[in-house]
């Protein structure tokens, strides 16, 4: 075996190329880690904000008119549920308008019409808004509805969300400050415990909402609007140029333009709105591909404006970091692909060993607190809403962290391709993420990709990478190079999980 491997020796030039590429990946990951570490430091240092004005004891007659917008497209399993939940929200009936922005082409049309008529007969203003064409997808529907809405504020919920009855009573007081353009609530998860995949997604979202968003809010940084479970001031939308359909991340695009125009956003961590996470790998990939491509489009569109903006150094730095933190995706993939080659090169090319040792020492010093303090702390914050006591927390960690790591590693290829396509520009179709009406993770139907669909190139790429990293594990054993072996094991498991779950659902 050793003699066979010797025939593939990379040569000095090849070894240096591998070393440089691996180092570039390390730099990208360290940069992301340092940005996250600073967010956690801000989170711990600042504490929840207590300097906000809030409405107090405002009589119902003085409350503003609110329009709730529900963009729907073929959501027959959840359409009635979301309409009913919004119709039950506690707000004066004469100050509440519900716009069902229905672009459906299936039996959702009859369901929507029936529920709208039901609630209108009970004094709730539920308007069904339909367009001739689905131009601009979700952004187009929201823009169309905004032009005819009578509300001074627009609350937005995707079809799979379930706002509590007191949502407006708790969120609207944040608009006491006239320069607050939007309020974003925290996402909860109806079907978090349904499977390893839903647990992984919930942990990704909870680490974002419970640490990143909260830290940005505490420090007065740019907040990210997340497309649902939020409220907009109508004048802020208009001032920023309205909903625009030239990206697939219309929510992120608008919140950037709004904050660059001088409006502030508030993140209300204590207001939780439950929604579904995709229960199948096919649906999850559809969602992530759309989000990744949308991020690339927003970078292409908004990065120059962000760089030129007159912002404080801290606000600008973190706004840029939030926009570009997707760089960790190709960085991780680059490290992963190069690491088996680097292990082999270090054994056969002594010339690169001093440089590799120096980089390794520096990386170890920087990464140690990131790996052993930062990541465990973020994981703890993400899991604490679901655990009471150490035993429960340990159980949640065992059930959530391994799938979380596998999904994060396995998504790298898909997200890199999607973001690259977004950066290249061009039009893209908004593929909706299917909703299944899954209370508590039970019920629902479709669990397979639509018949006749082929596995994407990214899916086959995931399969090839799973094989590649499995071979890397064998190579680690043969060469006795154990440093990267755990990393290769995680990558092999992650790509195998993504590939296997996708193929199994066809």
Reply yes or no on whether the pLDDT at 441 is more than 60.
no
Over range 352-380, report the average pLDDT: 87
The pLDDT value given to residue 82: 97
Specify whether the CB–CB gap between 103 and 141 falls below 8 A: yes
Report pLDDT digits (tens) over 307-328: 999 999 999 999 999 999 999 9
CA-to-CA dists, residue 10 to 3, 317, 421, 479, 505, angstroms: 14, 40, 32, 15, 40
The pLDDT value given to residue 26: 93
3-state secondary structure string across 214-234: HHHHHHCCCCCCCCCCEEEEH
- In this prediction, residue 145 has a pLDDT band, given cuts at 50, 70 and 90, of very high
Report pLDDT digits (tens) over 276-285: 999 988 899 9
Specify whether the CB–CB gap between 345 and 35 falls below 8 A: no
- Half-sphere exposure at residue 332, Cβ-oriented, CA atoms within 13 angstroms: 24
Rounded CA-CA distance 249/296 in Å is 9
pTM beyond 0.95: the answer is no
Rounded CA-CA distance 417/456 in Å is 11
Rounded CA-CA distance 265/230 in Å is 10
The pLDDT value given to residue 146: 97
Report pLDDT digits (tens) over 241-274: 999 999 999 999 999 999 999 999 999 999 999 9
Instruction: Give me the helices (H) in 151-271, please.
Output: 167-171, 196-207, 214-219, 234-239, 250-260
User: Which residues are marked as active site?
Assistant: 103, 251
The pLDDT value given to residue 438: 66
CA angle 489, 415, 103 (to 5 degrees): 135
Buried b (16+ CB within 10 A) or exposed e, 329-353: bbbbbbbbbbbbbbbbbbbbbeebe
Rounded CA-CA distance 104/499 in Å is 31
The pLDDT value given to residue 427: 75
For 162, the 3-state DSSP assignment is: strand
Specify whether the CB–CB gap between 257 and 247 falls below 8 A: no
Report pLDDT digits (tens) over 79-118: 999 999 999 999 999 999 999 999 999 999 999 999 999 9
The pLDDT value given to residue 11: 65
Rounded CA-CA distance 488/466 in Å is 9
- In this prediction, residue 445 has a pLDDT band, given cuts at 50, 70 and 90, of very low
Reply yes or no on whether the pLDDT at 7 is more than 50.
no
473, containing H or E segment: helix 457-479
Reply yes or no on whether the pLDDT at 2 is more than 70.
no
Specify whether the CB–CB gap between 77 and 107 falls below 8 A: no
- In this prediction, residue 370 has a pLDDT band, given cuts at 50, 70 and 90, of confident
Contacts of 144 (CB under 8 A, 6+ apart): 101, 129, 131
Report pLDDT digits (tens) over 326-359: 999 999 999 999 998 888 888 778 888 888 888 8
Instruction: Give percent above pLDDT 70 in the chain.
Output: 94
- Output the CA torsion sign for 377, 273, 230, 443: positive
Q: Which of 195, 413, 399 is nearest to 285 (CA)?
A: 413
Tell me the average pLDDT of the chain: 91
Q: Would you report the helix, strand and coil content of the chain in percent, each value rounded to 5?
A: 60, 10, 30
Report pLDDT digits (tens) over 174-221: 999 999 999 999 999 999 999 999 999 999 999 999 999 999 999 999
Reply yes or no on whether the pLDDT at 304 is more than 90.
yes
The pLDDT value given to residue 506: 57
Over range 29-44, report the average pLDDT: 94
């Amino acid at each position: 075996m050793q003699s066979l491997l010797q025939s593939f020796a990379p040569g000095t030039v090849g070894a240096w190329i591998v070393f440089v590429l691996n180092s570039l990946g390390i730099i990208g990951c360290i940069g992301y880690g340092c940005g996250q570490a600073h967010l956690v430091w801000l989170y711990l240092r600042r504490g929840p904000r207590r300097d906000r004005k809030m409405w107090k004891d405002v009589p119902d007659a003085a409350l503003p008119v609110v329009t709730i917008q529900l963009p729907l497209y073929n959501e027959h399993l959840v359409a009635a549920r979301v309409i009913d939940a919004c119709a039950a929200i506690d707000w004066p009936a004469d100050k509440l308008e519900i716009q069902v922005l229905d672009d459906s082409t299936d039996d959702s049309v009859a369901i929507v019409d029936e529920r709208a008529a039901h609630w209108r007969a009970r004094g709730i203003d539920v308007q069904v808004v339909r367009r001739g064409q689905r131009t601009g997808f979700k952004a187009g529907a929201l823009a169309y509805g905004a032009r005819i809405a009578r509300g001074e504020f627009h609350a937005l919920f995707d079809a799979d969300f379930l706002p509590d009855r007191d949502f407006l009573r708790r969120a609207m007081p944040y608009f006491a400050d006239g320069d607050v353009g939007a309020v974003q609530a925290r996402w909860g998860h109806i079907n978090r415990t349904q499977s390893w995949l839903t647990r992984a997604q919930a942990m990704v979202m909870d680490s974002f909402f419970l640490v990143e968003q909260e830290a940005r809010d505490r420090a007065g940084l740019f907040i990210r609007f997340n497309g649902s479970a939020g409220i907009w001031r109508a004048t802020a939308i208009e001032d920023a140029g309205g909903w625009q359909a030239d990206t697939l991340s219309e929510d992120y695009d608008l919140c950037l333009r709004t904050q660059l125009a001088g409006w502030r956003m508030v993140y209300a961590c204590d207001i939780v709105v439950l929604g579904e996470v995709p229960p199948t790998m096919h649906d999850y990939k559809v969602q992530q591909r759309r989000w990744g491509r949308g991020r690339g489009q927003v970078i292409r569109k908004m990065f120059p404006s962000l760089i030129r903006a007159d912002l404080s150094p801290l606000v600008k730095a973190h706004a840029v970091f939030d926009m570009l933190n997707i760089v960790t995706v190709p960085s991780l993939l680059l490290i992963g692909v190069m690491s088996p080659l680097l292990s082999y090169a270090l054994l056969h090319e002594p010339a690169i060993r001093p440089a590799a040792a120096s980089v390794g020492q520096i990386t170890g010093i920087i990464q140690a607190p990131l790996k052993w303090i930062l990541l465990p702390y973020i994981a703890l914050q993400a899991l604490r809403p679901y655990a009471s006591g150490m035993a429960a927390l340990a159980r949640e960690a065992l059930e959530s962290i391994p799938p979380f790591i596998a999904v994060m590693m396995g998504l790298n290829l898909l997200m890199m391709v999607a973001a690259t396509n977004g950066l290249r520009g061009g039009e893209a179709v908004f593929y909706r993420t299917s909703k299944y009406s899954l209370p508590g993770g039970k019920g629902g139907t479709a669990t397979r990709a639509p018949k006749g669909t082929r596995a994407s190139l990214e899916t086959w790429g995931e399969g090839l990478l799973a094989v590649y990293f499995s071979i890397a594990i064998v190579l680690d054993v043969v060469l006795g190079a154990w440093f990267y072996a755990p990393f290769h094991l995680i990558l092999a498991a992650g790509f195998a999980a993504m590939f296997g779950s996708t193929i199994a659902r066809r």
